[in-house]
Structure 1
Amino acid sequence: MRPTPALLSLFLLAASSCTHGSNRQETPASPSSMDPAERGRALAQRVIIADGHIDVPYRLHEKLGSDGQPTEDISQRTAGGDFDHPRAVEGGFDVAFMSIYIPAELQTKPGASKVLADSLIDMVEKIARQSPGKFAMARSVEEARSNTQQGKVSFALGIENGSAIEDSLQNVAHFHQRGVRYITLTHSKDNQISDASFNSGKRTWNGLSPFGKQVVAEMNRVGIMVDVSHLSDDAIRQAVELSQVPVIASHSSCRHFTPGFERNISDELIRALAAKGGVVMINFGSAFLTQAANAYELEVRKAVMAFAQERGLARDSAELQAFAESYLREHPAPLARVEDVADHIDHVVKLVGIDHVGLGSDFDGVGPSLPIGLKDVSQYPNLFRVLLERGYSEADIEKIASGNVFRVWQKVESHAVGR
């Protein structure tokens, strides 16, 4: 999902195993008799946690200083956002798939999407270079594991919106060379590759475009994971069928809990994705988790849009922003809880087994709608506690935390090397 530096963006979106190394805590195996909260904290420090979608880059991009550099230093504790190094260490967090988010509005400006993608990748690489004792880039599972052994938080790269490819298949290889390891084929609007779930009133391609089908094949060839979050159902179905390797949904939850919300994955498509070896990575946003929160966001969106239309206001106007903030104060959000995230994990496991679910928080992308108990990267142990209480083994949780997505990542790499 797109980042939400302003509340208004959130509600207008649809309308437009390895032991840690030197400077990380080394934790012995926890006895089963230990309190679940303590076991959750210990387990988070022992296993590798990989999150499929963290929107830090665009959040920093929207707050650049006059020198063109980020005004926040995520190597230190920050007042804003959901991710920084101190909180990552607290939560035992290891591998962040940093979202290289490309707004749908750039799709009408030839070349602009690729330029932004390259600039955001430059930013992430610079952050890693500036704090070499804390961060490191990860272009493979082996590099991610090695970074963890050295006590560093890894930055892997995923492009959110295939519009960055522009109209050139050569750009797929270009982004692979830059370290991109998944591409979300589209975002909030249909693009040159695929129809989008949020664009429900229009279907440009009835799934993937002819060019989009070539893009999937090229991603398979060079070794980039196909990400089907944000796609329409037909596009997901086609991408899963066409891909010669497993695909991921980097930050999607289960539609079973939010009927009619196409942005989440249906049971039918979860089964199809799993049959090809793929992984659904659960989004932590409350609107993805419960029907009450989903309906609430729809009502807020309607109210804000009606106010804008009545007064002829632009989406970025101060008056509209003030109205949105006032409305939210007067109508508090029904937030989900960490247990709701566990419910979605349970649902995938019951449908298709433990090997096909992971974590895709959408931290820094869903703003204030994060659930109680999972407000930032320091709180993954809370989820582990709930899973332990529900009878998941530590081996199961390790698969959820990173093992499953690492398996897909390695499979995609091996396929590309073997061609």
Structure 2
Amino acid sequence: MNKIRPLLIFTTLASLTLSCENMDQKVAKIHNHAFTIDTHVDTPYQLLDENFDIGISHSFEPGGSRVDFPRMKEGGLDGIFFAAFTSQRERTVENILAARNKADELIDSIYSACTKYSNLAEVAVTVEDAYRLEKEGKRAIFIGMENGFPIGKEISEVERYFKRGVRYITLCHSSNNDICDSSTDKNGAEFDGLSPFGEKVLDKMNELGILVDVSHVSDSSFFDAVERSKTPVIASHSGARAICDHPRNMSDEMLKALANNGGVIQLCILDDYIKAPDTTALIFKKEQELHNRYKNAGSMSKEDEDKMWAEWHQLQIDYPKDKPSVADAVDHIDHIVSLIGIDHVGIGTDFDGGGGLKDCVDVSQLKNITIELLKRNYSEEDITKIWGGNFMRVFKQVTDYARNEKLASN
């Protein structure tokens, strides 16, 4: 028997074990050192389900939850933005009031969850809150509003939501609203960017210290927002159009304008925004059939809308997708960094709203993104910026501007 071969095998296995340990140690060091934040999840809808308990750890199952407080800790995540999402419907007084009530219900559910598990998490409204909670070992739960539709045409609603704890407003969703044009409205542009009312909304957001979120907006709306806003803007959950050609993603021209504005794009890991979908797959065809049956979503009743989302969730269970990988997602980060530098990119997963990858199915697996970044020779400083440093810098700039404006007016 060749005595050298077993020795070589043992040496190789020992080297691989040491390498894995070193990688785990590096990842743990980064997540312990950085304030890590995911800027967009749709978990509040899970909170409305009386059978869901955010205070206990869940094993991920298709169609199930991707976020809870214990899994946040497991994944090394310190902070998160829970989105109060309302879908776009016909802009009637009745629908606006219904959306307003839904947004309030979702916000209430966030406060209730944090009150119930005050030993695990707390609603945060400032940068200072985030760092305090990190030291206390709690998760910092911020509130974002996805879609400005509940504001209607009442500028006073912006301040009301600020007082409720909302710290960013995604200006629109999948269709145009009274604030601006959407990137995916089937009827095309209505205002060719921001509406006159939308300009007032941005001014009020700047004044109060609410982050301007340009995810979902049309290209014209984006450029209007960048020009109008006196503070840097964010894209809470978007990708790079050069890597995946989707209207929801940002073109190179937009990314450059974002960098010049001092803003940040938070990478969304929803499959269709990471990699072009396989149009021959059965799930793609089923989803297209669903979209066609509910193509008038903006004017459907609440009951039909609930039915549509229930059917969509069931499709994810019955016809699981072949999801893109973490490596595919980090390709977006590579492109963004090569184009505009390391200071303008972060993470906004869109978990519980469609986000998830084959090797990052829920918040407990977020460290896999860190591992991929290390494999591509990103430094610990770079990764710390991606995992929260860049976003928190912008957040501080936005709040400092509002504080200074308030002091100057007094």
Contact 1:193–1:212 (8 Å) recurs in 2 = yes
Distance 1:145 1:74 in 2: 22
Q: 2:277–2:284: 8 Å Cα contact kept in structure 1?
A: no
Structure 1 residues 315 and 354, CA, compared in 2 at 3 Å: closer, same or farther? Answer: same
Structure 2 residue 315 is matched with structure 1 residue 325: yes
Letter of the structure 2 residue corresponding to residue 142 of structure 1 = E
> Which stretch shows the higher mean deviation, 101-110 or 143-152?
101-110
The match for 1:279 is 264
Contact 2:175 2:186 in 1 (8 A): no
Deviates more, 1:226-235 or 1:71-80: 71-80
Structure 1 counterpart of 2:335, from 343, 347, 359? 347
Give 1:325 deviation, angstroms: 3.4
Find the aligned partners of 1:179 and 1:166 in 2 and give their Cα distance. 19
Does residue 217 (structure 1) correspond to residue 195 (structure 2)? The answer is no
Residue 131 of structure 2 corresponds to residue 145 of structure 1: yes
Find 1:401's aligned residue among 384, 387, 404. Answer: 387
Percent of pairs with identical residues: 37
2:270 and 2:350 in contact (8 A); partners too:
yes
Q: Kindly provide the CA deviation profile for residues 207-253 of structure 1, in whole angstroms up to 9, marking residues without a partner as x.
A: 11110011011100111000000101110111011101100000001
The residue number in structure 1 matching 2:73 is 89
Which whole-Å CA distance do the structure 2 matches of 1:271 and 1:294 have between them? 31
1:58 aligns with 2:45: yes
Larger Rg: 2
- CA distance in 2 between counterparts of 1:122 and 1:59 reads 13
In the alignment, the residues of structure 1 paired with residue 181 and residue 280 of structure 2 have an alpha-carbon distance, to the nearest angstrom, of: 23
Match of 1:231 among 209, 213, 217: 217
Aligned partner (choices 165, 183, 191) of residue 205 of structure 1: 191
Residues 262-298 of structure 1, C-alpha deviation per residue, up to 9 Å, x if partnerless? 1111111011011010000000111111124588676
Which residue of the partner structure matches residue 241 of structure 2?
A: 255
- Check conservation: 1:286, 1:293, Cα contact below 8 A: no
CA contact (8 A) 1:102 1:164 kept: yes
Cα offset, 1:37, TM superposition: 4.1
Is 2:224 the counterpart of 1:242? no
Could you say if the C-alpha distance between residues 322 and 213 of structure 1 is closer, same or farther in structure 2, counting changes exceeding 3 Å? closer
Go from structure 1 to structure 2 and tell me whether the alpha carbon gap of 1:196 and 1:46 turns closer, same or farther (over 3 Å shift). Answer: same
Secondary structure at 1:100 match in 2: strand
What is the letter of the counterpart of residue 145 of structure 1? Answer: Y
SS at structure 1 position matched to 2:334:
helix
C-alpha change, 1:361 and 1:306, in structure 2 (3 Å) is: closer
Partner of 2:157: 171
Query: Number of matched residues?
Result: 372
1:366 is aligned, of 343, 346, 354, to: 354
C-alpha change, 1:327 and 1:82, in structure 2 (3 Å) is: closer
1:321–1:363 Cα change, 3 Å = closer
* TM-score normalised by length of structure 2: 0.84
Unpaired runs of 5+ residues, structure 2, are 1-17, 296-303, 406-410
Cα separation, partners in 2 of 1:322 and 1:93, compared to 1, 3 Å? closer
Unaligned runs of 5+ in 1: 1-30, 64-69
Aligned residue number for residue 24 of structure 1: none
Structure 1 residue 78 displacement after superposition: 2.9
Do the aligned partners of 1:287 and 1:294 also contact (CA within 8 Å) in 2? no
Q: Residue 250 of structure 1 aligns to a residue in which SS?
A: strand
Partner AA of 1:396 in structure 2 = D
- Superimposed CA distance per residue, residues 350-407 of structure 1 (whole angstroms, 9 cap, x where no aligned partner): 110110000000011106xx21221111111111011011111111111110111101
CA distance in 1, matches of 2:111, 2:176: 30
Structure 2 partner of 1:77: 57
Counterpart mapping for 1:3-42 below 5 A: 35-42=22-29
Flag the 1:223–1:307 CA change in 2: closer, same or farther, 3 A. Answer: closer
**Is this contact kept in 1: 2:146–2:169, CA < 8 A?**
yes
* Amino acid aligned to 1:73: D
Q: How far apart are the structure 2 equivalents of 1:134 and 1:324?
A: 31
Q: 1:363 to 1:324 in 2, by over 3 A?
A: closer
| Superposition CA RMSD, Å | 2.6
2:406 matches 1:416: no
Corresponding residue for 1:46?
Answer: 33
